[in-house]
Amino acid sequence: MNDHRRSLETRADAQRIWDIWSNASTWPKWNPDVIAISLDGPFATGTAGSMTTRAGGTHKIQLEDVNPGRTFTIRTSPAPLSTFHFKCEVAPARDGSQISQGVSMTGPLGGLMSAMMGARMAAGFEPILEGLKKEAESK
């Protein structure tokens, strides 16, 4: 299971980042890939929902490993015989915080999907993180 990740630093504090990230209704505003998202409950481990992205259409998602103020993972299966785990993290840094997003892929075709798509997907995290940074620093 390879992990493909991108990170950047922001002047915004970790709580500000978490407040935006944990309010999924804001994602289409600052995340250039998300068209729509709905959760069937609170932003907590086990909550299911759906997300529509520009590149992949609409997929069922589930929140995993939600550690409020720090991390969460979105699990989805957009391709046959593979499960994608998108891990999002925020950590305090010297002048604000560090934000990162990564993806790992599991399942019978997870390794192949990771080799074929992982680096390209990680590059796509850069504008997402920049959008989050801009949103957090704007207020």
* Phi, psi angle pair for 20, to nearest 5°: -75, -50
Judge whether 101 and 3 are in contact, CB under 8 Å: no
- pLDDT tens-digit profile, the chain (139 residues): 478 999 999 999 999 999 999 999 999 999 999 999 999 999 999 999 999 999 888 999 999 999 999 999 999 998 889 999 999 999 999 999 999 999 999 999 999 889 999 999 999 999 999 999 999 999 7
Sheet holding 83-93, edge to edge: 3-10, 96-106, 83-93, 71-76, 57-67, 48-53, 34-39
Q: Give, to the nearest 10 degrees, the angle between helix 14-21 and helix 110-137.
A: 120
pLDDT at 36: 96
> What top-level class would CATH report for the domain 3-137?
alpha beta
Domain boundaries defined on the chain: 3-137
pLDDT at 2: 73
| CA gap 139, 85 in Å, rounded | 30
